C-alpha cells in the first residue's frame, strides 16, 4: 500500500492549492460549455497542466485531453468529465453562469477541477525518491451527449496500457465527507428513442380511409413498453418511458406526421443488448397493420458501470483513512446513465459517489439549475482520487513483483 509519507505529500499538495482549485471551479461554473463545445474549458485545463511541467494532449476533436504523469510502473487512469447542461442557472452566487441557458448542473465543474488537482498533486509525488507508477488524467468531453465522449477518447488510445480507472460523481443526497461505493452495477443504461410516423392524413369523421396517427401513437406509448417487459429478462429492469408525443393541430384533422420521444433504461446489460431488434419488430407489428409508415432513431447511450471489487477496495481503503469507517457506505444502482462504463470494457473500474450537500441547506438534485455543492468537496475529491491512484499502483506493483 502507499506510505504515510506519500499520503502526507498528497494532502500537503492539495491543501496548498485549495484556494486556486476553488477559484478554478468557480471560473468553470461561470463559463460553462455544452458537450463537444468545451474548447475554452480544455484550454484552461491544458494551460494549467503545462504550467506544472506536464505535457497534455488535446483530443482530436479539440475538446478534452489526456495527460500522463510519471514514467514507469503500473498505469492508473483518473477520469473527470467537463461538459455542462442546457439548463439555466437559477442560483444567486458570485460564480453564477454567464452563459444564458447553460449551467454546470451536474457537478462536472467539480469533477474536472478535482481531477486536475489530483493530477497536480501526483506530479509532485510520482518520481520523488524513487516513487514509481504512472497516472493518466482523462479530462473527457461530452459525458452528457449521445454519442458521448468516452468511446471517442478510448478509440484515440485513452485506455491503452491502463491497469485500472477511477472516477467519481457529486452526490447531493449525502453530506460532505461521505463516500458511497459498492461493487457490481451502480448505474443503468440510458438510450434516447425517436419514432417518426407518417400517414396520408384525412378527416376525423372518416378514419377508415386513412391511418389514424393519434391512435397509432397511443398504441405505441402503451404497447411498446409492455412488449419490451415481456420479451426481455425481467431481472434486467427495462423501463421505456415517453417524454414527448407530438402530432396534429386541429380536432377534425387526422395528422400526417407524428413524433414520439422516449428514454430507454435498463439495469442489466442483457436487455440493453437485446432491445434494438425487439423495438423494430414490435413497432412494425403495431404500425404497419394500421396503414402508417415508421422510422426509428435509437441512440445508444452506455452500459451500466460495473464496479470491480478490487477497485472498490482501493477506494474504500483511502476513503476510510481520510474520513473514518462510518463515512464510507454502500450505494445502490441508480436509474441514471454514465459513460464511465465504457472504460470498464478495457480495465477494472472504481466509481464512487462523493457527498457534496451543504450543511443546513435543502437538498437540490443534480440536473437542476439550483444545484450547488459544498466547495470543500473539491480538495476532498482530489485527495481521494490521488490517494486511490497511489494505493492501486502500490498494490499492483506488489503483486507483480
Residue 305 DSSP one-character state: P
Confidence of residue 171 (pLDDT cuts 50, 70, 90): very high
pLDDT computed for residue 237 by the predictor: 93
Residue 83 DSSP one-character state: -
Spatial separation of the C-alpha atoms in residues 334 and 351, rounded to whole Å: 13
Same domain (yes/no): 35, 158: yes
Same domain (yes/no): 327, 396: yes
Among 262, 282, 299, which residue terminates a domain? 299
Among 265, 299, 333, which residue terminates a domain? 299
Range of the domain at 159: 4-187+305-400
Q: In Å, how far are 12, 106, 335 from 86, measured between CA atoms? A: 37, 11, 20
Average pLDDT taken over every residue of the chain: 96
Q: What would the pLDDT profile of 226-253 be if each residue is shown by its tens digit? A: 999 999 999 999 999 999 999 999 999 9
Same domain (yes/no): 263, 168: no
Same domain (yes/no): 344, 381: yes
Among 260, 280, 299, which residue terminates a domain? 299
Confidence of residue 401 (pLDDT cuts 50, 70, 90): low
Burial 68-79 (b: 16+ CB within 10 A, else e): bbbeebbbbbbb
Same domain (yes/no): 353, 284: no
Confidence of residue 131 (pLDDT cuts 50, 70, 90): confident
- Residues 200-214, mean pLDDT to the nearest whole number: 97
Same domain (yes/no): 40, 155: yes
Same domain (yes/no): 128, 64: yes
Length of the chain equals 401
Tell me which residue has cell 446489460. Answer: 269
Spatial separation of the C-alpha atoms in residues 320 and 307, rounded to whole Å: 18
Same domain (yes/no): 147, 60: yes
Spatial separation of the C-alpha atoms in residues 1 and 19, rounded to whole Å: 30
Burial 279-318 (b: 16+ CB within 10 A, else e): beebbeebbeeeebebeeeeebbbbbbbbbeebbbbbbbb
Percent of the chain at pLDDT > 90 equals: 94
Q: What is the CATH number of the domain that holds 248?
A: 3.30.70.360
- Torsion sign over Cα 50, 143, 354, 269: negative
Q: What is the CATH number of the domain that holds 21?
A: 3.40.630.10
Confidence of residue 132 (pLDDT cuts 50, 70, 90): confident
What is the full DSSP assignment across 336-391? ---GGGGGGGTS-EEEEEEEEEPTTS----TTSTT----THHHHHHHHHHHHHHHH
Same domain (yes/no): 34, 113: yes
- Residues 194-219, mean pLDDT to the nearest whole number: 97
pLDDT computed for residue 195 by the predictor: 98
- Residues 280-304, mean pLDDT to the nearest whole number: 97
pLDDT computed for residue 194 by the predictor: 98
Same domain (yes/no): 166, 270: no
Same domain (yes/no): 252, 284: yes
Q: Does the pLDDT at position 67 exceed 80? A: yes
Q: What would the pLDDT profile of 321-359 be if each residue is shown by its tens digit? A: 999 999 999 999 999 999 999 999 999 999 999 999 988
pLDDT computed for residue 2 by the predictor: 80
C-alpha cell at 158: 485513452
Confidence of residue 215 (pLDDT cuts 50, 70, 90): very high
Q: How many domains does the chain have?
A: 2
Spatial separation of the C-alpha atoms in residues 385 and 114, rounded to whole Å: 8
Q: What would the pLDDT profile of 356-375 be if each residue is shown by its tens digit? A: 998 888 889 999 999 999 99
Same domain (yes/no): 30, 167: yes
- Residues 76-96, mean pLDDT to the nearest whole number: 98
Amino acid at each position: 500500500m502507499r506510505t504515510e509519507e506519500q499520503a502526507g505529500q498528497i494532502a500537503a499538495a492539495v491543501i496548498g492549492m485549495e484556494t486556486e482549485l476553488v477559484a478554478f471551479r468557480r471560473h468553470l461554473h461561470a463559463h460553462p460549455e455544452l458537450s463537444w463545445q468545451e474548447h475554452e474549458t480544455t484550454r484552461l485545463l491544458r494551460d494549467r497542466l503545462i504550467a506544472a511541467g506536464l505535457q497534455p494532449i488535446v483530443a482530436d476533436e479539440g475538446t478534452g485531453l489526456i495527460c500522463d504523469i510519471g514514467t514507469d510502473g503500473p498505469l492508473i487512469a483518473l477520469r473527470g468529465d467537463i461538459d455542462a447542461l442546457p439548463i439555466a442557472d437559477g442560483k444567486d452566487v458570485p460564480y453564477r453562469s454567464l452563459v444564458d441557458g447553460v449551467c454546470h448542473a451536474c457537478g462536472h465543474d467539480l469533477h474536472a477541477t478535482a481531477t486536475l488537482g489530483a493530477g497536480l498533486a501526483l506530479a509532485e509525488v510520482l518520481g520523488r525518491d524513487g516513487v514509481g507508477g504512472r497516472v493518466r488524467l482523462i479530462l473527457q468531453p461530452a459525458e452528457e451527449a449521445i454519442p458521448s465522449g468516452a468511446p471517442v477518447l478510448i478509440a484515440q488510445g485513452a485506455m491503452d496500457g491502463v491497469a485500472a480507472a477511477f472516477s467519481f460523481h457529486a452526490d447531493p443526497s449525502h453530506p460532505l465527507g461521505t463516500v458511497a461505493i459498492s461493487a457490481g452495477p451502480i448505474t443503468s443504461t440510458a438510450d434516447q428513442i425517436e419514432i417518426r410516423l407518417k400517414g396520408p392524413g384525412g378527416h376525423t369523421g372518416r378514419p377508415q380511409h386513412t391511418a389514424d396517427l393519434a391512435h397509432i401513437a397511443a398504441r405505441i406509448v402503451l404497447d411498446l413498453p409492455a412488449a419490451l417487459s415481456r420479451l426481455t429478462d425481467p431481472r434486467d429492469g427495462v423501463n421505456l418511458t415517453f417524454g414527448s408525443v407530438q402530432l396534429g393541430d386541429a380536432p377534425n384533422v387526422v395528422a400526417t406526421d407524428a413524433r414520439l420521444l422516449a428514454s430507454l433504461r435498463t439495469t442489466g446489460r442483457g436487455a440493453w443488448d437485446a432491445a434494438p431488434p425487439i423495438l423494430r419488430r414490435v413497432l412494425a407489428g403495431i404500425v404497419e397493420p394500421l396503414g402508417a409508415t415508421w422510422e426509428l432513431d435509437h441512440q445508444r447511450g452506455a452500459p451500466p458501470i460495473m464496479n470491480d471489487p478490487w477497485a472498490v477496495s482501493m477506494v474504500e481503503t483511502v476513503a476510510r483513512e481520510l474520513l473514518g469507517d462510518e463515512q464510507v457506505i454502500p450505494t445502490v444502482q441508480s436509474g441514471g446513465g454514465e459513460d464511465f462504463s465504457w472504460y470498464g470494457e478495457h480495465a477494472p473500474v472504481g466509481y464512487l459517489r462523493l457527498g457534496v450537500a451543504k450543511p443546513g441547506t435543502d437538498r437540490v438534485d443534480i440536473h437542476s439549475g439550483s444545484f450547488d455543492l459544498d466547495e470543500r468537496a473539491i480538495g476532498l475529491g482530489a485527495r481521494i482520487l490521488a490517494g486511490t491512484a497511489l494505493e492501486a499502483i502500490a498494490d499492483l506493483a506488489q503483486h507483480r513483483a
